[in-house]
Amino acid sequence: MKELGNKIARKRKDLGMTQAEFAERMSVTRQTVSRWEAGAVLPDIDRIGEIAGLLGVSCDYLLKDEITEEAPSPSADRAAGTADGDRRGISRLLQALKGRCVRLAFFDDEADVDLYNAVCRVMDFEGNWMKVEADLKKGRVEKLIPISSILSFDITEEDR
């Protein structure tokens, strides 16, 4: 149980995320993240995939003590269109989206309800995250979305 917590803490810190930031992205309290990392409690099994996606690692890496090297998550490989982890071409493509307006399609199990069918402006990339801005009914929002959750994107007419 302690090894899972150590892996979560190590990777979270590698990504430069505080416990509070990680907790917000996971929709839990900072204390919950602290208890996971201390090994006091385990995350619910249905949260493991979400944690792996957020940290950019595989579920196997998190759950199997004998796996000590981080492996890219399968969803990250799907999003990048590669199985070998070489994302240099994809990185150039994504960087070319900065400042552009896009509609995002998400993997079914990772859909972002707020951004469904919304036009978003790509603001920046932070590690495995894409920062977008969108004008929604509730006003202008900025969101960080895991790149691994994106199935495809379409550059909108507003930007062509």
Residue 118 has pLDDT above 50, yes or no: yes
DSSP assigned state of 75: H
Domain ranges for the chain, please list them.
Answer: 2-71, 84-159
Rg of the Cα trace of the chain?
16
DSSP assigned state of 151: E
Long-range contacts of the stretch 6-12 (C-beta < 8 A, 24+)? 6/37, 6/39, 7/57, 7/61, 7/62, 8/33, 8/36, 8/37, 8/51, 8/55, 8/62, 9/37, 11/55, 11/56, 11/57, 11/70, 12/37, 12/55
- What pLDDT does 19 receive? 94
- What pLDDT does 33 receive? 94
- What pLDDT does 70 receive? 61
Percent pLDDT > 90 in the chain is: 24
d(CA 106, CA 109): 8
d(CA 157, CA 160): 5
| Chosen CATH of 2-71 out of 3.90.950.10, 3.50.50.60, 3.30.2130.30, 1.10.260.40 | 1.10.260.40
pTM over 0.75: no
Nearby residues of 107 by Cβ (< 8 Å), 6 or more positions away = 75, 78, 79, 149, 150, 151
Tell me: the pLDDT tens digits for 83-103? 444 344 556 677 778 889 998
At residue 29 the predicted structure's pLDDT band, cuts being 50, 70 and 90, is: very high
- What pLDDT does 90 receive? 59
Tell me: the pLDDT tens digits for 46-86? 788 889 888 988 888 888 888 776 644 444 444 334 344 43
- What pLDDT does 158 receive? 63
Kindly state the tokens that stand for 104.
């995002």
- For residue 124, give Cα distances in angstroms to 36, 99, 114, 120, 157: 30, 8, 19, 12, 20
- What pLDDT does 66 receive? 80
d(CA 120, CA 156): 9
Q: Which CATH class for the 84-159 domain? A: mainly beta
- What pLDDT does 94 receive? 75
Beta-ladder partners of 106: 150
Average pLDDT, the chain: 79
Could you check whether 2-71 and 84-159 share the same CATH topology? no
Residue 120 has pLDDT above 70, yes or no: yes
Round to the nearest angstrom and report the end-to-end CA distance of the chain: 51
